[in-house]
């Protein structure tokens, strides 16, 4: 659980937990089932390659490791952004938010490059059940990262409207929860899809 000193200006709740944070936790619980179902589909189909290329033909583990590292580092910058806003340093917060968004964007760029390479090597959405489940699972993860980037930009806009500060850090914290979750899901996807050999 995340740290628990609820900001003073928010109304007390029955449990003392902040409403928005509780809502985000509930939503993330739901997301576990979402990704869980896609991962199950992938596990069912990872060897159903038909005439198309197999995962051993395609995966470039060093390359994906680097882009995974980039994504995980974005969790660090996200934490620094939250820490900055709680300390009242809004300029540092904006810098860390933009850094987080930039790292996320780098990851997305890496994914676009990876997808393009795979298509050139003969794996498309329609090639095989393996292709469908790979692209849709990792694509939905990429979509989650993209939405996260939009939310980070939203926070930056909010801050330029004069919102967000030591007394009003909750939105940063909630977006941070989402961002860390998306990163954690990637650890699972990276392990299950790339590191466990097929066959």
> Are 67 and 110 spatial neighbours (Cβ–Cβ below 8 Å)?
yes
Tell me how far, at minimum, the Cβ of 50 lies from another protein, in Å: 6
* CA–CA gap between residue 153 and residue 140 (Å, rounded): 20
> Are 190 and 68 spatial neighbours (Cβ–Cβ below 8 Å)?
yes
Tell me how far, at minimum, the Cβ of 4 lies from another protein, in Å: 12
Tell me how far, at minimum, the Cβ of 127 lies from another protein, in Å: 8
Nearer to another protein, 107 or 134 (CB): 134
Instruction: List residues binding another protein (CB under 8 A).
Output: 11-17, 19-20, 22-23, 26-27, 29-31, 33-34, 37-38, 41, 44-45, 48, 50, 125-129, 131-133, 135-136, 140, 150, 154, 157-158, 160-162, 171
> Are 169 and 86 spatial neighbours (Cβ–Cβ below 8 Å)?
yes
Tell me how far, at minimum, the Cβ of 24 lies from another protein, in Å: 9
Number of alpha carbons in the 13 Å side-chain half-sphere of residue 107: 29
- Please state the length of the chain: 199
* CA–CA gap between residue 177 and residue 20 (Å, rounded): 11
* CA–CA gap between residue 162 and residue 157 (Å, rounded): 9
Nearer to another protein, 20 or 184 (CB): 20
Nearer to another protein, 2 or 73 (CB): 2
In the chain, beta strands by DSSP E: none
Tell me how far, at minimum, the Cβ of 185 lies from another protein, in Å: 13
Task: State phi, psi for 49 to the nearest 5 degrees.
Answer: -100, -5
Nearer to another protein, 46 or 180 (CB): 46
Tell me how far, at minimum, the Cβ of 181 lies from another protein, in Å: 13
Nearer to another protein, 15 or 91 (CB): 15
Residue 90 tokens, joined: 């809004």
Nearer to another protein, 52 or 104 (CB): 52
């Amino acid at each position: 659980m995340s740290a628990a000193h609820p900001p003073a200006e928010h109304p007390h709740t029955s449990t003392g937990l902040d409403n928005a944070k509780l809502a985000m936790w509930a939503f993330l619980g739901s997301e576990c089932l979402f990704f869980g179902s896609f991962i199950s589909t992938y596990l069912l189909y990872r060897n159903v390659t038909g005439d198309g290329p197999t995962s051993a033909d395609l995966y470039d583990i060093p390359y994906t490791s680097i882009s995974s590292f980039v994504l995980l580092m974005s969790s660090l910058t996200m934490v620094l952004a939250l820490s900055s806003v709680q300390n009242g340093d809004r300029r540092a917060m904006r810098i860390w938010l933009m850094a987080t968004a930039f790292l996320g964007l780098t990851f997305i760029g890496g994914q676009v490059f990876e997808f393009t390479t795979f298509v050139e090597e003969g794996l498309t959405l329609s090639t095989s059940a393996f292709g469908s489940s790979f692209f849709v699972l990792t694509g939905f993860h990429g979509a989650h990262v993209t939405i996260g980037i939009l939310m980070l930009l939203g926070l930056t806009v909010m801050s330029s409207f004069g919102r967000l500060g030591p007394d009003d850090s909750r939105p940063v914290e909630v977006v941070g929860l989402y961002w860390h979750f998306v990163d954690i899901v990637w650890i699972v996807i990276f392990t299950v899809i790339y590191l466990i050999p097929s066959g």
